[in-house]
Amino acid sequence: GESVGLHLPTLSVQEGDNSIINCAYSNSASDYFIWYKQESGKGPQFIIDIRSNMDKRQGQRVTVLLNKTVKHLSLQIAATQPGDSAVYFCAEFSSGNTPLVFGKGTRLSVIA
C-alpha cells in the first residue's frame, strides 16, 4: 500500500496468522524488485528479491509475488511472529544506472 502524508498504512495481524503486504510500483520498465524490513531506529534489511522474468519466489517463511500486468508486488509472511513487527518497503529498479526507487512503506503490527 502507498501512504499519503505522514501516515503509513498499517496492517495488524494475529501471531501465527499469515500476512500479506502489498505494493503498487510505478514504472512498467522496472525489472528488479526488493522487499526490505525496517525495525525502529535501524536501517532497512534485505528480505527477498525477484526479477521480472519470474512471478513468484520463496524464501524462509516469505514469498514474493509479482504481477507485471497490473504492476503489483506482494510479500507474504507465513506464521507471523512478534519479531516480524516492522515497517516493510518495496523497491523497484529499472535497467541502467538509476538507483532503486522505494515505496512509502507499510507498518506491520503483530498482536500476540
Partner 1 sequence: DGGITQSPKYLFRKEGQNVTLSCEQNLNHDAMYWYRQDPGQGLRLIYYSQIVNDFQKGDIAEGYSVSREKKESFPLTVTSAQKNPTAFYLCASSTGGGRGSPLHFGNGTRLTVT
Task: List the one residue from 21, 23, 34, 66 that touches partner 1 (CB under 8 A).
Answer: 34
| Size of residue set near partner 1 by CB under 8 A | 28
User: Going residue by residue from 55 to 74, which x/- string records binding to partner 1, judged by CB under 8 A?
Assistant: --------------------
Q: According to the binding rule CB under 8 A, does residue 109 interact with partner 1?
A: no
Cα separations (Å) of 34 from 11, 84, 102? Answer: 19, 17, 9
**76 and 62 Cβ atoms separated by less than 8 Å:** yes
Least spacing, CB of residue 39 vs partner 1, in Å: 10
* Rounded-to-5 percentages of helix, strand, coil across the chain: 5, 55, 45
* For partner 1, the closer CB: 42 or 83: 42
Residue 9 corresponds to which cell in the numbers above? Answer: 498504512
